[in-house]
Structure 1
């Protein structure tokens, strides 16, 4: 039996329930225009998990998806419209939005796509122009 911590989350109405297990690969804030428009906010808090750490335990048939680019397959609840997660097939990771897993101890470590920021956050965390080089970006950091 695993000692990995498990956290539960749900869409806005609770029709879609999910479970994440263990620790995410990364946590932070995305400032890209796509995430801002999708979340209807000035910034999106993300948690990136390996696919085997994420399980939809209820309501998988209630998930709808939108595939704007090959880099992301965004999923939401057909009943309430609540956003649940984004699959990133090119990275082999799934972004479960931090707000969807309220008991998870979200500890951001980075800001990505900070050049597109509309809300500056002077928190001392690294500010990436796009994404880290190991994820296919330039790895270039920006000033706060």
Structure 2
């Protein structure tokens, strides 16, 4: 049985559905994610594009791309953040908070060199990104 999880933007005008299991889950500590999320760390769930579907309000989705690596998507009506398409990775980050009925189980920290909120949780801490995604793959101490 394939599991489906749904979520919405802040006002509920845009609905999103993810199917199956994500490719990875974790925390990003980069300056961009922290600024975008207005928090000290961003909880991510990475999905293959075919597992992410907008089920309502697609016409209300606005986009912002600071770099070619990230197409950040949000509701034009309420400003609620939904997801970030990472075309260079071939993955979409559906923010963990966007899909509240999904059991978030982080496995890694990325961009930990930029952290402003150290987290001692026993998870792998990468300086930037995994080598297979173009990063150094360098592990940092907790």
Same fold (TM over 0.5): yes
| CA distance in 1 between partners of 2:87 and 2:120 (Å) | 31
**Counterpart for residue 115 of structure 1:** 113
- Picking from 75, 87, 91, the partner of 1:77 is 75
Using the TM superposition, give the Cα deviation of residue 41 of structure 1 relative to its aligned residue in structure 2, in angstroms: 0.3
Using the TM superposition, give the Cα deviation of residue 104 of structure 1 relative to its aligned residue in structure 2, in angstroms: 0.2
Q: RMSD of aligned C-alpha atoms?
A: 0.4
Deviations 1:89-124 (A, max 9, x none): 011100000000001000000000000000000000
1:11 aligns with 2:9: yes
Show structure 1 runs of 5+ residues with no match: none
| CA distance in 2 between partners of 1:68 and 1:61 (Å) | 21
Deviations 1:2-39 (A, max 9, x none): x1100001000000001000000000000000000000
**Counterpart for residue 91 of structure 1:** 89
Using the TM superposition, give the Cα deviation of residue 125 of structure 1 relative to its aligned residue in structure 2, in angstroms: 0.1
Q: TM-score, normalised by structure 2?
A: 0.99
Please state whether the residue corresponding to 1:141 is helix, strand or coil. Answer: coil
Deviation >4 Å, runs of 4+:
none
Q: TM-score, normalised by structure 1?
A: 0.98
| CA distance in 2 between partners of 1:80 and 1:104 (Å) | 23
**Counterpart for residue 33 of structure 1:** 31
Aligned residues: 142
